[in-house]
Amino acid sequence: MERFGTILLAICVAGAINLGFVGFFNWNLINAVFGGDTAANMSGLVRVLYALVGLCGLIAAFVLPRVHVVGEHRVTPPMRT
């Protein structure tokens, strides 16, 4: 089940980063990889929301792998300095 969670997290982070590209640069990475149109027509509010999701995906990419579930409690290892 741990491998499934890792794959699921990777897909979610990749999707969030793609939305960040759309929000910040109006460029769709997934469409570019699979041969579609890379530009999207959308409102400014949608681009801001996509950019926010992208930033959250980047943060999740660095924070979530450090969180481990032990029994019923989450344990976060101490940060190395």
- Convert the pLDDT of each residue in 4-43 to its tens digit: 777 778 888 888 888 888 888 888 787 777 776 666 666 7
| 81 in a structural domain | no
For residue 9, the enclosing domain spans: 2-75
- The CA distances from residue 67 to 5, 12, 28, 58, 78, in Å, are 12, 16, 30, 15, 10
Residue 19 belongs to some domain of the structure? yes
Q: Looking at residues 50-72, what average pLDDT do you find? A: 75
Q: 36 in a domain, yes or no?
A: yes
Residue 23 included in any domain: yes
Residue 29 falls within a domain, yes or no?
yes
Whether 43 is covered by a domain: the verdict is yes
**Total domains in the fold of the chain:** 1
Please give the Cα distance from 37 to 27 (Å, whole number): 9
Query: Is residue 80 in a domain?
Result: no
Q: Assess contact for 60 and 66: CB atoms under 8 A.
A: no
